[in-house]
Structure 1
Amino acid sequence: MPPLLALPFPAIDPVAVAIGPITIKWYALAYIVGLLGGWYYARRLVAADRYWGVVRRPSLNDIDDLIVWVALGVVLGGRIGYVLFYNLPLYLADPIEILAIRNGGMSFHGGFLGAVLAMVLFARSRKLQALTLLDLAAVVVPIGLFFGRIANFVNGELWGRIAPDFPYAIVFPTGGPLPRHPSQLYEAATEGALLFVVMLVAVRANGFRRPGLMGGIFVLGYALARTFCEFFREPDRQLGYLFGTETWSTGGITMGMVLCVPMALVGLTVIVLALRGTTRPRMAAEDVAVRPAKVDAA
């Protein structure tokens, strides 16, 4: 019998679509929706002249090609990051398991680095400014984060810490008999919905006109949101708490928090440089000086 203050876990089939032997799980569908939603929104942003000023932006064809590069960067980086950061001894003992992505095991921080590398290489191949691509990605990534965390909840994975007195705690089928924080929903709300709103406000404030600003806001915002949610999320079993215990007062430092520290520092640094104009391309500044004034027709 579940504890008095616990909510029942909704019995949702982790398989979203099944056609004969072919099955598509909610987690895979979340990746697809996130990538396609990000692609569609990125095209809308690129087509809006009012957001860019003199900053050179990618073309619609560039966005169509970029989605393939980013998808590969996310999947490969996410898997490699999980292997290196979260369970290296296991995979060293059985390297073939590195390829068994169907068994789970993806790291956001690894996927983030993989996507950044993919965008940098793509920018070089198209002679675009990498910071502009990163800014564009920063606005659309929260879409994928939102759907990904919802899929984590549907799968009953990455549940939160034990919370016997929390009125909205949930007893997860794989989390034992005690009620836990639905930390996946906290992450969906903060890393996904809230960060999406923050990025939307930055877009409306002409953030694209300062290369790197949007990317810096996202990186810093994600680091803060993820660190906050880590206080409610159960750490990976094979790692546990790196420092302290699970109580709020004594810390309970997790690998997720540690990986967010350099993200926050990088994000803050890029924001400062962007606001100072350091990241602004020289060509854009020259274009402003020589661009003829607009003359209204009589």
Structure 2
Amino acid sequence: MPFLTLAFPVFDPIAVALGPIVIRWYALAYIGGIVIGWFYARALLKNQRLWGGPSPIPLIAWDDFILWVTLGIILGGRTGYVLFYNLDFFIQHPAEILQLWKGGMSFHGGFMGCVIAVLAFCWTRNLSVLSLGDVTCAVGPIGLLLGRLANFINGELWGRPADETVPWRMVFPNGGPLPRHPSQLYEAALEGVLLFTVLALMIRFGALKRPGLILGSFIGLYGAARIVGEFFREPDPQLGFLWGGLTMGMLLSVPMVIVGAALALWAWRRAALTAPAPARQTLS
């Protein structure tokens, strides 16, 4: 083992095994992200101070929305991976599209699935698209953090080769003999911890009173965080580097930065929500 190289901690990819029932860490990350996010969103919706009055999204509506957004994440994430990252393979092996247990999910596809779920749910319930989008994006970094940690546990999506100046570089079991950046942990810190902290501070200072501000900020900041992370992450082998050394993750994230910044600026310039004035009482 070269000097200043950490040994990759070997994890069992199976978190729970009860007879024929097997739950992997990656599946547990999805489940944990949805459950923790559900509780966090309920806390936000119940806090009238954050909204300047009653939340425009009733708690019962949020509870119903969980199933919609879960389907959006799974169907969108898988569709995005098939289309953006491995289309030639799945054209030749279409039956494997449904074999989710073999891995292969795309954040950008999952995000588009969430967008469709929000639009469809709000249309059926006559709710604010921007406010539901704000709540959904406020909890998004929780799932991203757990997902990236699951990537690390699985020893997948490892980083590019690193030199001796990186004392935490690792040799991944399936990444060849070269020590590499643990880019999954970088992305967990950027897309999970940092993004959650920034959005939480924005919410504390009234961002939910401006519908679309959290949504736009999440889109733009995630795009920027993903681009930074891609500089340390090894590109998918079936794609490699694209134009000018860019990766697919970078190309898909650039529009997010632009759209997110524009949406956040537009939301910031709109008038903030205010609590409804109390009804006047008259003497009889």
TM-score w.r.t. the length of structure 1 is 0.90
Which residue of structure 2 aligns with residue 267 of structure 1?
260
Are 1:58 and 2:57 an aligned pair?
Answer: yes
Distance 2:146 2:278 in 1: 46
Q: Which amino acid aligns with 2:262?
A: T
Give 1:61 deviation, angstroms. Answer: 0.8
For the Cα contact (< 8 Å) 1:5–1:164, is it kept in 2?
no
Q: How does 1:287-298 map to 2 (within 5 A)?
A: 291-292=277-278
SS of 1:43's equivalent in the other structure is helix
Q: How does 1:1-298 map to 2 (within 5 A)?
A: 2-54=1-53, 56-165=55-164, 166-244=166-244, 252-277=245-270, 291-292=277-278
For the Cα contact (< 8 Å) 2:46–2:55, is it kept in 1?
no
Give 1:164 deviation, angstroms. Answer: 2.7
SS of 2:15's equivalent in the other structure is strand
For the Cα contact (< 8 Å) 1:77–1:115, is it kept in 2?
yes
For the Cα contact (< 8 Å) 2:34–2:70, is it kept in 1?
yes
1:17-63 CA-to-partner distances (Å, cap 9, x unmatched) read: 00011110000000000000110000000000101115752111111
Give 1:142 deviation, angstroms. Answer: 0.4
For the Cα contact (< 8 Å) 1:81–1:106, is it kept in 2?
yes
Q: Which amino acid aligns with 1:121?
A: A
Q: Which amino acid aligns with 1:267?
A: G
Give 1:97 deviation, angstroms. Answer: 1.1
Distance 2:203 2:279 in 1: 25
Matched residues, number: 280
1:217-236 CA-to-partner distances (Å, cap 9, x unmatched) read: 11111001110000000000
Give 1:80 deviation, angstroms. Answer: 0.1
Q: Which amino acid aligns with 1:38?
A: G
% identity of equivalent residues: 55
> Structure 2 stretches of 5 or more lacking a match?
none
> Structure 1 stretches of 5 or more lacking a match?
245-251
Distance 1:176 1:55 in 2: 55
Distance 1:192 1:186 in 2: 10
Call closer, same or farther: CA 1:294–1:168 in 2, change over 3 Å.
Answer: farther
